[in-house]
Every structure is written in C-alpha cells, then in structure tokens.
Structure 1
Amino acid sequence: MLLGGLLPGAAQALPSYREVVAAHRPSETLVLAHDGQVLQRVRTNRQVRQGDWVALADVSAALRLALLASEDQRFYAHSGVDWQAVSAAAWGNVWHQKTRGASTITMQLAGLLDEDWRTPAGGRSLGQKLGQAVAATRLERSWRKDEILEAYLNLVPFRGELVGLDALSRTLFGKAAHGLDAQEAAIAAALIRGPNAKPGVVGQRACGVLQSVAAVQQRPLPDCSAVRWRTEQVLGARLWPASAGIAPHWAQRVLAQWPSGQALPGRIVTTLHADVQRVAVDSLQRHLRELQGRNAEDGAVLVLDNASGQVLAWVGSSGSLSQAQEVDGVLAQRQPGSTLKPFLYAQALQQRRLTAASLIEDSSAHINTGSGLYIPQNYDRRFKGWVSARVALAASLNVPAVRTLTMVGVEDFYQQLAQFGLDLPQPAGYYGYSLALGSSEVDLLRLANAFRALANGGLWQPVAGPLPDAAQAPSPALPPSHRAIGPQAAFIVGDILADSLARAPTFGLDSVLTTRFWSAVKTGTSKDMRDNWAIGWSQRYTVGVWVGNASGTAMHDVSGSSGAAPVWADVMDYLHRQQPSRAPVPPPGVQQQWVRFDGQGLDADRQEWFVTGSAQTDFVRAGATEHGSGQAQGFAPRILAPASGTILALDPDIPPAQQRLWLRSSSSAVRWRLNGRILGGGAQLAWLPMPGQHVLEIVDRQGRRLDAVTVQVRGAGLAATAPRKP
C-alpha cells in the first residue's frame, strides 16, 4: 500500500480486461458474403498494422517461453513489480554495471493501456516510474496473469507499424501465432526489446533469448550464425498483403460507399454470394488461360438478382492473369458492340415500325451522313439477304440493325437508351447510325442492369446497394424506378434472344449460348475485337461478362461466342444447377399467330409473337412477286445505291463503258427516272453518268415517286446514249 499512498490517483482509470478486448480494432476490415463467409480482407487503418486478437491458448509455447525469458523471468512470482530486478538495477547503476531492466510485463502493459505511464524517448522520471509501478500493482489485483500476458502480446509494438502478435506473425513469418517455432519466437521476443534495431542487433539478441531458454531447459546452446541469418531473412519479409481474397473490387466498392462519418466495423456483411463469386472467378480465369496466344488477358463478371437488384457476384479483373489487376472491369467504360441491339429492336417493336416477322434486307448499304458515307458490315463480312427481325436480332446481323435505326431515328434511340440507364457522354449526333452497332462506351454494371430491365418486363430499377441491411449503412437516395419499355416489346425481345433456331445462322445449333433451361442472351464484339460481351438473363438472374484487355489493345480472333459466352454459360449453369428457369408468362397486349414466308430466305413458316393489333399472316421478300414489292413488309421500295449526295469523278482516260454506275433498288417493280426522264426499270440498271447535278428517282407504274437521291458527276463530258425505253 506504500505506492498507493504515495500516488493515490494513479491508475484509477485503467480499463478492465473485457473492455480492452472489446475495444480492440484490427487494421483490416473483413468484407463478408451474405452468409458470413469471408470474401476479402482489406487494410483500412494506415497508421498501424494490427491483426485479430489472439487468445493466449493460440500462442505457441515457444513464444511464451521466449517472452518470459527475455522480458520477465519472474512474471508468475511477482505482483506487478519485480523488486529483485529493481534492486539489481539500482545496484548496477551504483557500480555502473549493465543489468537487465526492472520493468515487468505488467508494468509495460500499464504503459500500453495509459500513455501517462508510457516510456518517453528521453526516459521516465521518478514520478512516472512510481506511477507505472502503482498501475501494474492495480492491474495484478483486477486481472489474471494469463489475461495480462495475452493483452500484452496483442498490444505491444514489434517493428515499424506492426503492433500485436497476429500482425507480426503474418507479416514476417507468414503464419498464425500458434505456429511459431523456437527460432521465430526468439526473434519476436528480441524485437520487443529493440523494435527498430538493425537486423544484426536483433539477431544477436534473439540468439541470447534462445540461450536463456536453452539454459532453463538444459538443452545445447544454439548456433548464433544460423539465428542471425534467419533474422536477416524475416525482417525484410512482407508476407501479409494489404488485401487478400476473391472480391477485391467489390470490397473497394463497399468501402467507398460506406457513409462518411461512420467508423468502419471489423466485419461488413454484403449481398454477394461466396459460391457464385468463386465460380465466376474460376471460370473467367480458366477460359482466359484457354485463350492464351490470342492477346486476351482481362475480363469481368457481374451477377444480379432480377427481383431485388442485389449484386450476387462482382469480378472486376482476371487477377494474376492481368497486368492491370487494379482496374475494375465492371466499371470500366468499353464499347458494347451488338449488345445495344435488343434495346433498338424493342423500341421499333413498341413503335410498331417492325414486328418480329417483318423482313429486313441484309445487304450492302451506303448511308449518307454529315461526315460521309456510312457502310455497315456484318461480323462475318457476308450478307444473308431478306431476313425477319427475329433472325436479324438473334443472329446479330449488323446491316438490318442499322436499317432499323434509320426507321427509329438516332435521337429517339439515344433517348431510349437513357431510359434503360445508359446515359452516354456524347450527344446523339456524335455517334450517328453507328450507335446501332455499339459505337458508344458504357460499363458492365449499367449494361447488365439494362438487360435486367428487359428481364423485368421493361421496368428499370437501380442496382441495390452492397449491404443487405439498409439500416446498417443507409445508401444515398437512388433514382426512382420507371418503365423503360413496354412489357409487350420486352417480352418479344426476350423470346427472340432465347430462340436458338433464330440464332443458328450466325452461331450454329450447338452454340454455347444454348442452355438446358430458359434463358435469353446477347453477345457483342466491338471494333477491332477490343471488347466482347455476353449478357443475358434467366427467370431469376441476369449475368453479364466482358472479355478484353484493360489497355484497350485488340484481341486476336476472339468473339463474344468464344471469349465471353463460355464464362456466361458456366455461371448460368451453376446458378441453375438445382433451380429451374421457366419462360416468362406472355403479358396482356401480345398475341401469337402463324406466319408464312415465301420460302426463299432463312425464315421458315412458324408461330410468331406480335404486339396486339400489328399481326400479319404473309411475309414476302421485296421483288419476290409482283404483290411483294415491298408492300408486304409495310415499307415502300427504296433506292439502295447510289446513296444520296454521292459525288462521282469521271476520268477521260478510262473508256466510257467501264465507268457505268449500277443503280439498285429494293424492288424490281419500279422504274428509274433521271431528272424527270425515264431511264428504265427493274431492281438493277446500269447508267452512264453525265457531268452535272442529277436527281435519280424510282416511281411506280402510275408514275408516283417512291424514293429519290441526288448525285453529282464531275469530269469531262461523255457522249450520251439514248435512254432505254420503259
């Protein structure tokens, strides 16, 4: 009681053992799946490196022996202050002899718990020494010995930013505290005495610790050279990365959306499903390895729950296969390619500009734009002729998509994309007709959620926040849900994208896109094969996959069906390994009807879905019969070539017969008229150009104009030939 009487106010505020354990905060945050499985460990405290609290039972016996031998050999005998050590230290000071310090583990713990009793850089004053002794005495009265030793090991600084045994063990030795051997334990104990000492000094002290333990256990003395070598090896190690797990980009998103001003907890439960995340990661890495040699090293996968909008898997990169692992491919802006086509056809269906059975010509097209001619091509550089809108969309034909955009209008389609959450950075005119083929840039998150709107019958909703319990960390106000497209158009587009027969002209009947359950899917490949995609939905889930290179370099012979589609199929198969997926119920306002085609194209007679009131029975290619001169499709015949605004330059050195221009129309039942004079009739006609400004028209048999273009011819005059009689 003498010390307590000298310093009656000392150590009154020292916490209890339970309070210390409860207040412990690791420098890492664990991001968990919805069921509590660890997805990612992320360092969130940059001041210190501190791991989990380690129970004394989980500390290796070797470390406990080394610690007591180094710091407090009479720990279990004294009551907080080792008076024998104090006497020895005082006697040594009198005779200028170097002795072991008198500070016990309990006294050091008191300094760790209360900075008033911490040893300053210039040493402690007599008052501080007495206060620390009083605090240690009080700790011994209220704490058990094992609690004191446990707390000390969890709070003591070891080296640099490393605080506590767990951080030391994982960083320097790459293992848990229970696995430390005698040599590693001696190094750890030596670091307590000199946290920032040079490796040689630490190694010498570690050998001294081993010698003390060996003397107590009556074992042979250690080889100090081996201990010093081991010490130099481990002090340079950094075996505990700042982040580890299977969802690094998802963890960053969770932390970025955590409300400012709220302290991060040690564990955060999120909506992700650990099993789905693992399957997505494994599938992406496996298929990218199969593409080695084709310059494809990056990818991303996103899985959404259709009903709730919760994220079930978020794979931002291919991990070790990528040279840009930190880039989140789910949020990166990339060209979507043909994945925008479903929204275009949905708009055309809703506006009744097309039906799923309407015939569109897949042929060479020259479209005049403000910046010149736009000439779209199909992926395989081949044309299929007249095809239905169903085949055009399912088989991802480019020219029909551009023709559809000319009906809908670029500005209107631009606005339609915004309704699906695809706000583009440039105005509509910047993209022009190439918008039908995905010349814009979007990210996988918004694109997959747009497909989710189709899965939900055209109702767009924002993606849900990362936390399943909104009360845990309320998200900022999200934009309200709204109808992006009518349920009828969404249903028909989904039916088309689920039709493996309509997909066959491009992908074949044995395509990886064909699943054993109902699913709708669309692939896309951007210009120069820089990006390819596979995005689709089932009854419950929407899955989006992107494959490419974070650097933007082109892949070699990798399409949506060979790059992204296999990953999409793997994830979908896993999601439905025990769960069925049924086709959606037709909404009110659609009807199914048998339709007939002329038998000359890719389309066979079949049952087809229509928006109520737009159904037709017979569909005939333009030019196939007199009755089918474009009227069966609901479109007037048009001039296919030349495009309006074409400028021709004649060369007098080339024979005139070699400079004829072929005029082409979508129908054979038309006449060609040049500047008011009839040239001839038929779907094709050779014309010998004459210098000047010309108006070319096609007219019906009654002379009514059906379409017209302007053509300018420059160069030396050529002898005119008599026009053909009609």
Structure 2
Amino acid sequence: MSSTGRRKPPLVADRRPKKRRKPAKPAKPARRTRTPRRAAKPRRGVVRRLFGWAWRLVWGVTLRAGLAVALILGLSVAYMSTTLPPISAQLDGRTRGSVTMLDRNGEVFAWRGEQFGGQITADTVAPVLKHAVIATEDKRFYRHFGLSPRGIASAISINLSEGRGPLSGHGGSTITQQTAKLLCLGVLYDPDKWKNEAEYEADCRRTTLWRKAKEAVYAMAMEVKYSKNEILTIYLNRAYLGAGARGFEAAAQRYFGKSANQVDAAEAAMLAGLLKAPTTYAPTNNLQRSRDRANLILGLMEDQGYLTQAELETARATPAELSEAAEARAGGYFADWVMGMGPDFLTRDTTEDVVLRTTFDPALQRSAEEALKHIFETRVKEGSKAQAAIVVMSADGAVRAMVGGRKTKTEGAFNRATMALRQTGSSFKPFVYAAALDLGFTPDATVVDEPVTFNVPGSGPYSPRNYDRQFRGRVTLTDALRHSLNVPTVRVADSVGLENVRKIAADFGIESDLAAGPAMALGASESTLLEMTGAYAGVLNGGSSVAPYGLVDLRLKGDGTPLMGQSGGMGERVISERAARSLTYMMYRVIEDGTGRRAKLEGRQAAGKTGTTSAARDAWFIGFTADYVAGVWMGYDDNTPLSGVTGSSLPAEIWRETMIRVHRGLPAHPLPMLVPEPPRAPARDPVPRQRSRDHEAENILNQVLRNLLGR
C-alpha cells in the first residue's frame, strides 16, 4: 500500500483536571448523645415480642377451644341424631284424642279437642301449600344446615331496635328449629312433672339462651337424621293452626272441608298465614283478617317465584271461602251439652279419636238462631242485657237444636238452656191439669174462681190471686188454663192432691226439687228449659215420659262397632193417652184464643203455655205442633226483672218465629188432641163452693169414679 506521507497522531488520553480540594471545615465539638434515645429500640422490641406472644397464646387457646367446641358439638349432634325415633313416630304429637260430632244426616258439625286429620307428607300435599309454608317461614329451607346465621342476626337486630331483648320477639328460627320446638326437643309429656299440657307446652316454648343452644343442637341432629322433606313432613303434621286443628290436613278439613292435597293457592296462603298466630288469624274468628294475611303470603310466593303474576291475581280475586260447617260454627251449646252424655274418658278426657253421632239438625239450629236474632233486633231496645234460650226437640226427646244465649257462635259458654235453674211460673200449670184429667176430669169440668185462703203449715195463710186481680166465678178447666188463672189452678191442685201433681211432674222429667205447699201449682219451683221442654214432649207423645237426648251412638274413629248407644228417649207412661189428648186440646186453646195468641201459626195447629214468674224475672213459652216441641226462656242472668215482658209477649213471639222457620217446607199435620163434645148438661163442679173440705173430697171422688166407669 502506498502512503500519503501523513502519520496519524498518537492516541493520547485527555488530561483530567485536578479536583480542587475543599478546605476542611473546622471540627465541631462532638455533641453528647442522649442515652434514652439510644434505649428506645430495645423497648419497642419488647412490646412487639409481648404482643406477638399474647396473640399466639390467644390464637392458640381460641383455636384449641374452637376445635374442642366443634368436636363436642359434632359428637353431641351425632349422638342426638342416633336417639331420634323414626319419622313415623314424630307425626302425631297429641297426648289426648279428639271428638268429632256428626249431625242427624251424618255430616260433621262440631269438633272438640285437638283434631288430627291423618298423616300427610311433603310429597303428597298440594305443591302450593308446601311453597306457601316455605315462602312464609323459611325461604332458604333447602339450603341451610338447620340454622340460619343470617336470620338469627337479623332477628336480634330487629328485637334490639324495637326495645326488646335479643331473644324476645322475632326468633329467626328456621323450619327445622320450629320443628324442634314442636317436638319439645324430644322431651315427652309427663303428667307427674307438669300439671297439665298447657304447662308442658309453655315449658317447651321458653326462649332462654341455654334452651336456644339445645334447640340448635337438636335442629342440626334432625338435619343429620332426616331428609329435608321428612323434616317438612313433621312440621306439616304437628303445627297448630287454630280451632283445635293440629296439622295442615286437619286444618284444611276444619276450615275448607277438603284434604290438604286439594287446596288451591288462596286456601294454601290462608293456612300458611295461620302459623304466625293461629288464634288471631283463624278464619272462624275473623275471616277478613285471615284473608288480608293470606294476600301478604301470596305476595311472598310471587316474589320467590312460586306463583306467576297471573296466578297471583287469580288467587287474590277468588279468596278462600270457609266450608258450610266451619262458617256456621253450629251447635256450640248443643255440642258442649252432648259431650256430657258419654263418660269423660271417651269424651272430655279421651286419649283416642272418638266420633259421636247425634240428633242435631243444622237447619233447625239456624232457624232458632235466626228467630232469636230477629226478635232482639226488631223488638228489644238496643243495649239490653236480657238473655234468651231455645230448645227444639222431637216428641221422643231427640234434641234437634239448642240455643243457650244470645251469643250463638260460642264454645264452652254458660248454657241457659241446660244450666240455668229458673222459676217456671205458669208454664208449670199443665201438670196440675194433667193430674186432674188423669183422674177422670174432662176439659169442660168446672171450678170456682173466687177468693180462697189456704193454711200452709209452717208458712201461715196463703191466698192466691190472679194476674189481673179479677175473679170470674165458675169457669171450665179449659178456660182456667186458657186464661192462666191462678186461683182455679191452686184449687184444682189442692183437690187432686199436691203429691199427685208432684209425682206427675217428676215422672214427666222435672227432676228439680218442687216447692212444698199450694204455690207449687203456680210454678214456684225451679227447673231448666231442657227439662220443661222434655216434659211437654211427654204430653205430645201421648202421656209417656221423655228423657231428652242428643247422643245416638259413640264409636272410635275408624271402628264400625259403637261403644255405647242412645242415652235417653221415651220411657214409661205417666198419664193416660186420653188425658194427654185432652190436655193437648186445652193447650191448643191457649194459643187459639188465650194468653198465647201471639204464638199462633198460620195454617198449622199448635198447643202451648205461657209462663211469667213474680216480678217478671222469668218469662217462658213452651209449646208444640204435631212435629216438634220448642221451649223459650227469657230473662236476665242476675235476676233483674224484665220490663214490660211476660211469657205471652216476647217469648211467644220468639217461639212463633222459631216454629215458622222450623216447619218451612213441612206439610201441616193436625195435633193429636181430643176435642170434648158439647156438654149435654151443666158440667159438675170438681170444687163445689161453700161446702166442707171433706164433703168436697167425697164429691170429687164420686165424680172420678163415675168418669172412670164411663170411659
């Protein structure tokens, strides 16, 4: 290679400039460090180590305690689950049985005790019913393990915000926990430990912290032992739903007359709504309140996807209706009375399910209730506390209807038809004339209506007076009864013998003690309306005694053989049939043109008798047609005198209104009465005036003999 003649300069590094040294600063005197600041590091380290140690200790203890609690809880749940009985033993928890009453047509009209409609399952009930219960009580039922922490926390928060204790009010209980309560956590009823079932159930419902803990364990044990549907089955069978219904099957039958697998959405919602407060929301107590609650449940069902909007609107447009028996709540007084006709161990204290077949007639019961309501609404001043009672029966003593007071839809109330002993007044007089007729007197026989005084041993002189203070001279027995004259009645009773009158009244069924002395003839003694009506039935049936009855037979549920039969009915003859027919004629005249004219029935023969006691404390009307006997009593419970009321006024009107309704649709039948022939000669006087008492008795005996021989 050629060269240009230039040479490259040598590579030489640039000279680095020398750094100028800064002049040294004069040394400052060293500061004395503070000893406490150097000691701070060790103190922070000690606190940190102490805190860490404490945290590890607490965590270790808590962890171990938690594990121990979890182990104990798990063992408790596992053990308790092994002690739970089969599901079939958990469905019917009643310690006592129930009584179902059937009317004369074989239809259910009343219940007593707790009803159990039969075992149902979560799979056999109507789906809308199962959905209604879950939507109302526990929407996460199929997702939790027996407890719902979210629900419990929410319930405690609500309780505290409302000023209650954390366990008072809302419980946040799941269906499983509620079922555990219904099972009383497995504790069975022991009559030696608790005074009664109410005390036992109250103990089961206590909400102490310890009991809630036991309830939680029991609930989780149930989740281990049973499936979700089995738990729900127990709940559906044991929940109390008001009106004596235990379980949804019994409630569906009680309120709607159908099985729980047949209810529609509106009925299902109404039943589910009862779980919150069975008595408050029972449709037999307040149907509208129960419907309002059901509408709320329907809304929950729609929100949770159990109902479509269209199904919701349909259910709300057609609310649940009560069955005829549930709506009527008929025969409360009758049902209470008939329960006493069987032994207590088969009725009030039964441990079995019992069925009573009775004489009750719902149509006649409605007739009596409507009649009573009509008179009190139209003829009695508002606010009156006066009471009334009605009994309707057949001639053989079969009681068809009973009203024990103005409040007709009741249970366990005071029954004025069977419990109230009241003076009978002039309604007793037919038994005086029954004694005379049975001795042979005729309705046309005469007696003198004039002042008379009787010397009653131990009481002094007794002078009866007529209601109007008037005297009519000689009158027939028919007129004496027709106008309810007191003086002739006492004269006849004295002549035929007070003991004879007493015996006939007792044989006809008046079991109360009868007063001594001639005042007995005017009804100074006390009796019940049921006894008096039964005694009048004896006149209608031709003179035989009657024991009023309501029980036809008693049998165990599902058993075709009765354990006991009818208790009551017709008994022995008391007076001759001729005397009974003659007395019927005399009582017929009472209604036709006597004191009982207000009881007259258009186009139908009827016989009866009014009754008013002294000071008008009691007013009666008892009578009969060829088909039925009815008795009416009116008065005050505290014996306050009635104002302007006698047996011939309001009681006669109540009787008439009752019998008009009772006979609706029945053909008119003539009374079985013996109408006397027109007298061919003046009738003889059974009590001649101005003769010695011995001579009077002799003449009466002679007439009796002549009449007996002339029959």
| TM value normalised by structure 2 | 0.61
Q: 1:320 Cα deviation (Å)?
A: 8.0
**CA displacement at 1:504 relative to structure 2:** 2.2
Deviation of 1:497 after TM superposition, in Å, equals: 1.2
Q: Distance in 2 between matches of 1:106 and 1:554?
A: 60
Q: Is the 8 A contact 1:288 1:296 kept in 2?
A: no
Contact kept, 8 Å, 2:590 with 2:608, in 1: the verdict is no
The Cα of 1:127 is off from its aligned counterpart by: 14
Alignment of 1:573-588 (within 5 A): 573-583=660-670
The 3-state SS of whatever aligns with 2:461 is: strand
List per-residue Cα deviations over 1:604-628 (Å, max 9, x = no partner): xxxxxxxxxxxxx2116xxxxxxxx
Is the partner of 2:393 in helix, strand or coil?
A: strand
Following superposition of structure 1 onto structure 2, how do residues 327-342 of structure 1 map, counting pairs within 5 Å?
327-342=415-430
| Within-5 A mapping of 1:633-644 | 633=685, 636-638=688-690
Structure 2 residue aligned with 1:492 = 582
Partner residue, 2:235: 152
Amino acid at match of 1:341: K
1:359 pairs with 2:446: yes
**How far off is 1:384 after superposition?**
2.8
Residue 135 of structure 2 is matched in structure 1 by: 65
- Counterpart CA distance in 1 for 2:604 and 2:183 is 62
Aligned to 1:462: 547
The alignment status of 1:253 with 2:305, answered yes or no, reads no
Structure 1 residue 540, shift from structure 2 partner: 2.5
User: For 1:483, which of 573, 577, 588 is the aligned residue?
Assistant: 573
Q: Retained in 1: the 8 A contact 2:388–2:416?
A: no
Aligned 8 A contact 2:553 2:563 in 1: no
Shift of 1:257: 3.5
The partner residue of 2:616 within 519, 529, 533 is: 529
Instruction: Give secondary structure in 2 for the equivalent of 1:619.
Output: coil
* In 1, Cα distance between equivalents of 2:617 and 2:282: 40
Residues 180, 215 of structure 2: 8 Å contact kept: no
Give the Å deviation of 1:507. 5.2
Structure 1: gaps spanning 5 or more residues? 86-97, 187-209, 218-242, 596-616, 621-631, 645-665, 667-726
Following the alignment from structure 1 to structure 2, what is the Cα–Cα distance between the partners of residues 127 and 506? 71
SS at match of 1:499: helix
Is the contact made by 1:532 and 1:559 (CA closer than 8 Å) also made in structure 2? yes
Change (3 A) 1:15 1:401: same
The Cα shift of 1:302 comes to 0.5
Amino acid aligned to 1:545: V
Give the deviation of 1:181 after TM superposition: 5.8
Correspondence list, 1:167-182, <5 A = 168-175=276-283, 180=293
**Number of the residue aligned with 1:390:** 478
Task: Return the letter of the residue paired with 2:453.
Answer: H
The answer as to whether partners of 1:342 and 1:493 remain within 8 angstroms in 2 is yes
More displaced 10-residue stretch of structure 1: 145-154 or 267-276: 145-154
- SS of structure 2 residue aligned to 1:412: helix
Residues 361-401 of structure 1 deviation map (CA, whole Å, 9 limit, x = unaligned): 22333333333332222223333332211221222222211
Name 1:407's counterpart in structure 2: 495
Q: Is 1:13 equivalent to 2:93 in the alignment? A: no
Query: Secondary structure of the residue that 1:306 maps to in structure 2?
Result: coil
- d(CA) in 2 for partners of 1:294, 1:374: 39
Shift of 1:248: 3.0
* Counterpart check, 1:297 vs 2:365: no
Residue 425 (structure 1) aligned with residue 513 (structure 2): yes
CA distance in 2 between counterparts of 1:368 and 1:360 reads: 20
Q: CA contact under 8 A between 2:97 and 2:353: conserved in structure 1?
A: no
Which of the residues 530, 537, 541 maps onto 1:452? 537
State how far apart, in whole Å, the 1-side matches of 2:579 and 2:281 are.
61
The residue matched to 1:564 in structure 2 has which SS?
helix
Q: Is the 8 A contact 1:304 1:543 kept in 2?
A: yes
After superposition, the C-alpha distances for 1:625-666 in whole angstroms (9 at most, x for unaligned) are: xxxxxxx436544169xx99xxxxxxxxxxxxxxxxxxxxx9
The structure having more radius of gyration, on CA atoms, is: 2
The whole-number CA distance in structure 2 between the counterparts of 1:498 and 1:158 is 52
Query: Alpha-carbon deviations, 1:518-547, whole Å to 9, x = none?
Result: 221111111111111111122221111111
Q: How many angstroms apart in 2 are the aligned matches of 1:321 and 1:292?
A: 22
Letter aligned with residue 425 of structure 1: D
Q: Which residue type is aligned with residue 235 of structure 2?
A: Y
| Residues 27/261 of structure 1: CA separation in 2 closer, same or farther (3 Å cut) | closer
Instruction: Check the 8 A contact 1:529/1:555 in 2, yes or no.
Output: yes
Please tell me the residue identity of whatever aligns with 2:279: T
Residue 171 of structure 1 aligns to which amino acid in structure 2?
T
CA distance in 2 between partners of 1:61 and 1:505 (Å): 67
Deviation, 1:284, is: 1.6
C-alpha distance in 1, partners of 2:241/2:360? 36
Distance in 2, matches of 1:401 and 1:390, equals 11
Q: Which of 402, 406, 409 in structure 2 is aligned with 1:318?
A: 406
Residues 26 and 261 of structure 1: is their aligned pair in 2 closer, same or farther, counting only changes over 3 Å?
closer
Report the counterpart of residue 59 of structure 2 in structure 1. none
Query: Given that residues 363 and 399 in structure 1 are in contact (C-alpha distance below 8 angstroms), is that contact kept between their aligned partners in structure 2?
Result: yes
Aligned-pair identity in percent equals 25
Counterpart residue number, 2:395: 306
Deviation at 1:7, TM superposition (A): 6.9
| 8 A contact 1:56–1:146 mirrored in 2 | no
**More helix as a share of residues:** 2
Deviation at 1:454, TM superposition (A): 0.7
Q: Is the 8 A contact 1:26 1:266 kept in 2?
A: no
Give the number of aligned pairs: 518
CA–CA distance in structure 1, aligned partners of residues 403 and 545 of structure 2: 23
Where does residue 504 of structure 1 map in the other structure?
593
Amino acid across the alignment from 1:386: R
C-alpha contact 1:74 1:82 (8 A) present in aligned 2:
no
The answer to whether the Cα contact below 8 Å between 1:279 and 1:571 also exists between their aligned partners in 2 is: yes
Contact 2:554-2:565 within 8 A present in 1 as well: no
Indicate conservation of the 8 Å contact 2:549/2:567, yes or no. Answer: no
CA drift of 1:22 comes to 6.4
**CA-to-partner distance for each residue in 1:587-617, whole Å, 9 max, x for gaps?**
xxx895331xxxxxxxxxxxxxxxxxxxxx2
* Secondary structure in structure 2 of the residue aligned to 1:261: helix
Q: Which moved more, 1:114-123 or 1:280-289?
A: 114-123
Q: Does 1:280 align with 2:368?
A: yes
- Write the mapping of 1:368-379 to structure 2, written as runs, cut at 5 A: 368-370=455-457, 371-379=459-467
The CA distance in 1 between the partners of 2:649 and 2:435, in whole Å, is 29
Mapped partners of 1:327, 1:320: distance in 2: 10
How far does residue 565 in structure 1 lie from its aligned partner after superposition? 0.9
Separation in structure 2 between the aligned mates of residue 507 and residue 213 of structure 1, nearest angstrom? 63
C-alpha offsets along residues 26-66 of structure 1, whole Å, 9 cap, x if unaligned? 99866553346665565669xx9xxx999564649676335
Distance apart, 1:451 and its partner CA: 0.7
CA distance in 2, matches of 1:215, 1:512: 62
* Kept in 1: contact 2:447–2:688 (CA 8 A): no
Structure 1 residue 410: deviation in Å? 1.6
1:303–1:121 distance in 2 versus 1, CA, 3 Å: same
CA contact (8 A) 2:177 2:215 kept: no
Instruction: Give the aligned partner of residue 657 of structure 2.
Output: 570
Deviation, structure 1 residue 431: 3.1
- Deviation sequence 1:666-694 (CA, Å, 0-9, x none): 9xxxxxxxxxxxxxxxxxxxxxxxxxxxx
Equivalent of 1:618, from 668, 676, 681?
681
Whole-angstrom distance in 2 between the partners of 1:163 and 1:493 = 53
Q: Which deviates more, 257-266 or 540-549?
A: 257-266
Give the root-mean-square deviation of aligned CA atoms. 5.1
Does the aligned pair in 2 maintain the 1:24–1:53 contact within 8 Å? no
Distance 1:53 1:178, change over 3 A: farther
Q: Partners in 2 of 1:346 and 1:157 — Cα distance?
A: 55
The aligned amino acid for 1:633 is D
Alpha-carbon shift at residue 334 of structure 1 (Å): 0.8
